[in-house]
Amino acid sequence: MVRSLKIFIAALLLVSVQSFAGYFIEQPYEDAPASDSLSSFSFGGELELVYYLGSVHPGILLSGEYRFHKRHSVDLFGVAMFSGDYLEIGADWRFFFRGAREDDFLRLGVSFISFERDDQSYFPPRVTLGYGRDILFFKNASFLSRIEIFASYIIGKPLVEKGGEFVNREAHFTAGLNIGFYLF
């Protein structure tokens, strides 16, 4: 299962890199098309792979995004980890560099995660910084793929892994990769 997932991710990354490998060499940034038909609302889901406490934890992210300007969007999202470690809800702001549907973006996010620790529930805030790209595989398609890397910091109570009776490992910092599919 893990090997198949690694092969799938490698193939997806290879297709993404192959599609855009010569884009900036062939076409200067200033000459790139700056407008296309932007729909204001998109929704979809992502596979989220989050690294913390020495291992990768997969989850699923569902999101609804509203593009209120050609370079700015806001989305509301929810994340559930397959391992049940935590649930997350939050909001993101994205800045798109060219203002086109197929574009690189910078993401700033604020969210709250919910987890249980020592028979108590906690709901600490989390801040996130990410960089990604929206990819159209077909020119007139009404869907896109999204790939993003991010880092986040949990403010307050950290995630904990019990290592024994007296030893606990804590994580405030997490890093991750999102691979998604959006309809617009």
**What's the chain's length in residues?**
184
- Rounded to whole angstroms, the Cα distance separating 8 from 184 reads 25
Q: Is the pLDDT of residue 38 over 70?
A: no
Asked if residue 19 lies in contact with residue 137, where contact means CB atoms within 8 angstroms, the answer is: yes
Query: What proportion of the chain, given as a percentage, has pLDDT over 90?
Result: 48
- Rounded to whole angstroms, the Cα distance separating 43 from 181 reads 9
The answer for 31, left when phi > 0, alpha when psi is -120 to 50, beta otherwise, is alpha
Q: Is the pLDDT of residue 23 over 60?
A: no
Backbone angles phi, psi at 31, to 5 degrees: -90, -5
Q: What would the two tokens of residue 122 be? A: 């906690």
Question: What's the pLDDT at 126?
Answer: 94
- Rounded to whole angstroms, the Cα distance separating 172 from 165 reads 21
- pLDDT tens, 67-123? 998 899 999 999 999 988 889 999 999 999 988 888 899 999 999 999 887 788 889
**Could you tell me the pLDDT band of residue 24, with boundaries at 50, 70 and 90?**
very low
Q: Residue 57's closest CA among 176, 160, 156, 172?
A: 176
Mean pLDDT of 32-37: 52
Contact partners, residue 11, CB within 8 Å, separation at least 6: none
- pLDDT tens, 116-165? 877 888 899 999 999 999 998 877 778 889 999 999 999 988 877 666 56
Mean pLDDT of 161-181: 79
